């Protein structure tokens, strides 16, 4: 078995695609019409080959409740790994990304939460050497 897809629920697929490509630097991989929504994926140029992030439309009402509960509790929808969390923080902050505080050392990682403009918190994580 392999993990090829991970999903984040998004309020608006076009807005999500702009954020994940323009701000985060991911690359659009798939964009397939599926009724009122699309199978829309992005990949990271720095990530593992073949792994895609699905920008999953928020078409299921209970998903909206779940997403809001995660935000309210400060729980990230997913995490992205970086080699330098401080550099990533500065770059994204300069592009207008909203962060939930400063990066913190937490044992084997240093991490900081940011908002993806689509209703999710994302954990930017730098593993310890």
pLDDT recorded at residue 60? 87
pLDDT of residue 91: 97
Tell me the pLDDT tens digit for each residue of 15-50.
Answer: 999 999 999 999 999 999 999 999 999 999 998 899
Residues 6+ apart with CB under 8 A from 13: 37, 38, 40, 55, 57
| pLDDT recorded at residue 85 | 97
Q: Give 46-52's long-range contacts (Cβ < 8 A, gap of 24+).
A: 50/2, 50/4, 51/3, 51/4, 51/5, 51/6, 52/4, 52/5, 52/6
Enumerate residue ranges in the chain where pLDDT < 50: none
DSSP per-residue letters across 27-94: EEEEEEEETTEEEEEEE-TTS-TT-EEEEEE--SHHHHHHHHHHHHHT--SEEEE-S-HHHHHHHHHH
Per-residue model confidence (pLDDT) at position 10: 96
Cα–Cα separations (whole angstroms), residue 58 to 8, 94, 113, 114: 9, 29, 21, 20
């Amino acid at each position: 078995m392999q993990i090829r897809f991970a999903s984040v629920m998004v309020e608006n697929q076009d807005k999500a695609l702009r954020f994940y490509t323009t701000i985060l630097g991911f690359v659009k991989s798939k964009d397939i019409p599926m009724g009122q929504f699309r199978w829309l994926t992005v990949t990271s140029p720095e990530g593992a080959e073949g792994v895609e992030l699905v920008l999953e439309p928020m078409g299921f009402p209970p998903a909206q409740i779940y997403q809001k509960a995660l935000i309210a509790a400060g729980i990230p929808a997913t995490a992205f790994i970086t080699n330098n969390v401080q550099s990533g923080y500065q770059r994204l902050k300069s592009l207008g990304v909203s962060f939930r505080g400063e990066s913190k050392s937490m044992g084997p990682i240093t991490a900081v939460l940011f908002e993806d403009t689509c209703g999710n918190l994302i954990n930017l994580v730098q593993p310890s050497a």
